[in-house]
Structure 1
Amino acid sequence: MTTSRLLFPFLVSALLAAGAAVAADGLKKVDGLMVDGAGKTVYTFDKDVADSGKSACSGPCAKLWPPFPADAAPAAAPYSVVTRDDGTKQIAYKGKPLYLYSADQKPGDRTGDGFKDVWHVVKD
């Protein structure tokens, strides 16, 4: 058996894993919490209805809680993409749109957790 045949299953696995990372737009889990590629904490909003395909946070809300943007890659489960009222795309996790919090200044900050009892850090 040639080396390329031996490596093929590993290459396929690596490509699939890379595709999943792209679909999640740089999201990852750190110490049980979801963060973006820069290590900033990611949140959900209780007023968003899972799997509705909509965000309940716009205008001044979206300035304080910027939507987590989706890139051109299609999202793979458990991620999906929500089209916002302004036409921009936002990543959702398990059907709930994701947000950052403008007051979080550095990686690891999670000052928005529990904000007004409707904003929560994404945990798995």
Structure 2
Amino acid sequence: MIKRSRTIYVATMLAGLAGLSACGSQAASTDSAADLPVPVAVQQSAAPLNPQGPGELPELSGADEPPADEPPATEPPATDPPAAEVQEEEQAAPAPAASPTVAKKQRWVKIFSGPSQQDITPPKSRLTGSKTVELNATENEQIGTYVTDGAGRTLYRFDNDSNKPPKSVCNGDCATAWPPLLIKSPGKIFPDGIDPKIVGYVERADGHCQVTINGWPVYYFVADAEAGDINGQGLNGKWFAIKPDGGKTAATPGPLGTK
């Protein structure tokens, strides 16, 4: 009995570690159970019994026949609404939003053609990756259009990195100050305002997968406390909020942009 319990415990640990597999490994998907049909219990009420016995129709209370010398009352024929009203109703009805489709695949990561139609809850911590990542184009009066994650947190690029080929050189203490945006297996990325064809990932030195835009690895900044913060903008002249095309946004005026 003890031997069996240990076997179950080890199997459970291995199943948990599968979700933390390295960047290049395909983790076993646990979504199959979610795809199973859910049975719906339908309760049908029994047909009422005929108190008059089989072969006889039940009496209809309140159904009086019209007098023989009077013609039965008839309802006026239904008239169709004018064509102009029908056309106006068709124009007023909004067209349903098209579901995003898979625009690109990079091994076990699917990049979709647009934002998800379902609400996605991003991880609270910037240090943990996620199987589902949102990228949104966001406007800012100081620096222009830049990219945020699903929680509105600013994403940056590092001039010392490269995009051809994609490579991150921010490791160790650098990655502590600038946590990379990680994608886990099996991953899905939903970009809004970013061309899905230029979205992907790169394998880091530690084996994890980091999201890229036009080949540039993207990061958070540890000093950004709330959505919309851009405290890392222009830091050391090398860190900039990333644009939807992968370029650098303009440095902020004043001390922040000249550090």
Residues 24 and 79 in structure 1, CA contact (< 8 A), matched pair in contact too: no
> Gaps (5+ residues) in structure 1?
1-9
Q: Is 2:202 the counterpart of 1:82?
A: yes
For 1:108 and 1:96, how far apart are their aligned partners in 2? Answer: 21
CA distance in 2, matches of 1:113, 1:77: 26
Q: Is the 8 A contact 2:158 2:238 kept in 1?
A: yes
**Does 1 or 2 have the higher relative contact order (CA < 8 Å, sep 6+)?**
1
Query: Please, which of 12, 19, 29 is the counterpart of residue 112 of structure 2?
Result: 19
User: Aligned letter for 2:149?
Assistant: D
With structure 1 as the length reference, what TM-score do the two structures score? 0.81
Task: In structure 2, list runs of 5 or more residues that go unmatched.
Answer: 1-95, 103-110, 117-130, 140-144, 190-195, 245-259
* Between 97-106 and 70-79, the greater mean CA deviation after superposition: 70-79
Provide the C-alpha distance between the structure 1 equivalents of 2:197 and 2:224, rounded to a whole number of angstroms: 27
Deviates more, 1:93-102 or 1:48-57: 48-57
Secondary structure at the aligned position of 1:81 is classed as strand
Equivalent-residue separation in structure 2 for 1:91 and 1:109 (angstroms): 20
2:187, 2:151 → 1: CA distance?
19
Among 182, 185, 192, the alignment partner of 1:69 is: 182
Percent identity over the alignment is 31
What count of residue pairs does the alignment treat as equivalent?
A: 114
Matches within 5 A, 1:1-124: 13-16=98-101, 19-20=112-113, 21=115, 25-31=133-139, 32-71=145-184, 72-73=186-187, 76-124=196-244
Aligned to 1:7: none
Cα distance in 1, alignment partners of residues 135 and 100 from structure 2: 17
Q: TM-score with structure 2 length normalisation? A: 0.40
Larger-Rg structure: 2
Match of 2:256 in 1: none
